[in-house]
Structure 1
Amino acid sequence: MTKIKRRWGLKTVLIKEFLAEFLGIFLLILFGCGATAQAVLSKGRLGEPLTVHIGFSIGLMMASCVAGGVSGGHVNPAVSFAMVILGKLPLKKFPVYVLAQFLGAFTGSCAVYAQCHDALMEYNKGELTVTGVNATALIFASYPAEHLSGLNGFVDQVIGTTVLILCILAINDMGAPKGVEPVLIGLILMGIGVTMGLNCDYPINPARDLGPRIFTAVAGWGMGVFSAGGFWWWIPVVGPMVGGVLGAALYLFLIELHHSEPRSSRLHCRGESHRDEPQQPNLQRAKEAQQPDDELTMDIKVKNDRIIVGDVKGEPKNEQEKDSLLLSPIGKDFYTEAPKFPVNFVIRS
């Protein structure tokens, strides 16, 4: 396996992040739109609004699990844009993330369509309709309720996405234990679904809505998917981006700016990682002086929840030692994949 990884493993970080975002939102669409298709095409026998909420929530959990350790698991242009505003994602990466998210959503729609093709053909005698009692375009994208105006729909999307961003930033800030973050993020979407789904089924994600909508346009539903609902299509694209900016700004000015400055702490990795209590400078220097000369010590600087490796004292003795040192960011906490040799990390925020 190690030989295969060395030969075929990607070295470019941006390509890894692209693939992670692509696969993450692919799963989100597969679970979420798949649940919607089952509810619609079975005429309520095998699904209902609650099962759709569960489907999207589980899809987001799995997307976060798959992509979280590589790209952060944004799977949403509004989330990526909020991270750019807060300095947690370089601006040059934003177009790459968005492209991956739209392509992943489009491909996920293809998978749902392929899986449900025969049921779609039987449901309305092969007619693919956008509006009406037997409409099936709503399986893939959002459409406004009859009572909803354009302005109210825009406000709906701004508020829903603002709540999403605020909650995601809070979870990231609290440093949830490994494996808990995806569950909490999924619960956020569940909460939004059961409280804010009345107007237009809470798309709150430009890629999740526009990617599948483009698919339906080319798959047989026609250009009516864009004109339906008084040209509704742009609202779940622009509204969430505005909500992303608002959510980032609110969290920055009301919460993040008022955090106390983090203090340096020491992380010792000998098979597993843990964070010790901060030490006094003189005590820390004394402890460092007692370390063996052949022990590998690395200074790690943390910036915008990313790892930047600084000074290295000592060198890995072989390729196995290098490969065993794998770091992944989880908010502001870090874990290693069981280094097989003594190594100390100095974490400086």
Structure 2
Amino acid sequence: MVLGSALAVTVAIHVAGDVSGAHLNPAFSLAMCLVGRLSWAKFPIYCFVQLLAGFCASGATYILYYDALQHYTGGNLTVTGPKETASIFATYPSAYLSLNNGFLDQVLGTWLLIVGLLAILDRRNKGVPEGLEPVVIGLLVLAIGVSIGGNCGFPINPARDVGPRLFTYFAGWGPEVFRAGDGWWWVPAVAPMVGATLGTVTYQLLVALHHPEDLVAAPLEASDLGTPPQLECKM
């Protein structure tokens, strides 16, 4: 699952990178707004499209595996229990995980994601050879998943969780998708945005402001940011 997620991110960036900047995550779109590389007016549009994409992707998965779901569940789509299938689409916390600990999990995971992404895209830092950004970002997602994904499946992306959750609500799993886990649904929707803000502040204060003075003082060109003008970001 973790490897598949990382490879999916890599392929998505290759597909859409030069067209839209490959915005796949509202948390990263927020980070780009905070550093002035995305207009705040575009932010709600990007978030809506990302949410819609998650909803449609879940629909495609449901159609592809419809026979398998019916065979496994006998047509009884449940959110909890020994044959639950809702977690195929959205994330749910482990039985031991409290909401507070889950919130911290998502803040920390998204903080790591944003710090890593900003470092990868910053040509004034070590940077990444042009064209290899998707691969390195995929490795970043893989590292986060294998190291801290055990609590709740490392959503670290509101659209990746809320979009599929909405699909399951309409597709037969019902309102339990929003009640399960003591109302878990809002954690992967809110905590990544907090983590994105903290990650952006961390990178700006501890790294971006400490580049050599000649680089900091010089006007930033597109090449300094590690992307052409139309490739604003990755993830």
Alpha-carbon distance between aligned partners in 1 of 2:117 and 2:43, rounded to the nearest angstrom = 18
Q: Which of 65, 80, 91 in structure 2 is aligned with 1:116?
A: 65
Counting only pairs closer than 5 Å after superposition, residues 1-349 of structure 1 correspond to structure 2 as: 52-174=1-123, 175-260=127-212, 261-262=214-215, 305=222, 331-332=225-226, 334=228
Large movers: runs of 4+ above 4 Å:
none
Identity rate, percent: 49
**What TM-score do you get using the length of structure 2 for normalisation?**
0.91
Aligned partner letter, 1:84: C
State the shift of 1:334 in Å.
4.5
Displacement of 1:213 after TM fit? Answer: 0.1
For 1:137-189, what per-residue CA distance to the aligned partner results, in whole angstroms no more than 9, with x for missing partners? 00000000011000000000000000000000000013422321000100111
CA contact (8 A) 1:69 1:330 kept: no
Higher relative contact order (Cα pairs below 8 Å, separated by 6+ residues): 2
What is the distance in 1 between the residues matched to 2:224 and 2:72? Answer: 45
CA distance 1:78–1:69, shift in 2 (3 Å): same
Distance 2:15 2:130 in 1: 13
Supply the RMSD in Å over aligned alpha carbons: 2.0
* Separation in structure 2 between the aligned mates of residue 123 and residue 86 of structure 1, nearest angstrom: 47
The 1:130/1:263 distance shift into structure 2, 3 A limit, reads: closer
TM-score by length of 1: 0.62
2:53 aligned counterpart, secondary structure: helix
Aligned to 1:25: none
Q: Is the 8 A contact 2:34 2:200 kept in 1?
A: yes
Distance 2:217 2:192 in 1: 37
Aligned to 1:15: none
**TM-aligned CA deviation for residue 262 of structure 1:** 3.1
- Seen in structure 2, the aligned counterparts of structure 1 residues 258 and 302 have a Cα distance that, compared at 3 Å, is closer
Question: How far is 1:246 from its partner?
Answer: 0.3
How many angstroms does 1:70 deviate by?
A: 2.2
Quick check: 1:178–1:330 contact (8 Å CA) kept in 2? no
**Letter in structure 2 aligned against 1:57:** A
Q: Are residues 330 and 127 of structure 1, via their aligned partners in 2, closer, same or farther at CA, if it must alter by over 3 Å?
A: farther
CA shift for structure 1 position 128: 0.5
Helix, strand or coil: the match of 1:73? coil
Instruction: Number of aligned residue pairs: give it.
Output: 225
Gaps of at least 5 residues in structure 1 are 1-51, 266-300, 306-328, 336-349
Partner of 2:232: none
- Structure 1 residues 186-241: Cα deviation after superposition (integer angstroms, max 9, x where no partner): 01111111111111000000000000000000000000000000000000010000
Change (3 A) 1:185 1:332: closer
CA deviation string 1:37-93 (max 9, x = no partner): xxxxxxxxxxxxxxx111101100011111221222220000000110111111111
Larger radius of gyration: 1
In 2, distance between residues paired with 1:264 and 1:240?
32
Aligned partner of residue 92 in structure 1, secondary structure: coil
CA separation of 1:226 and 1:262: change in aligned 2, threshold 3 A: same
Distance in 1 of aligned mates of 2:164 and 2:74 = 22
CA contact (8 A) 1:61 1:182 kept: yes
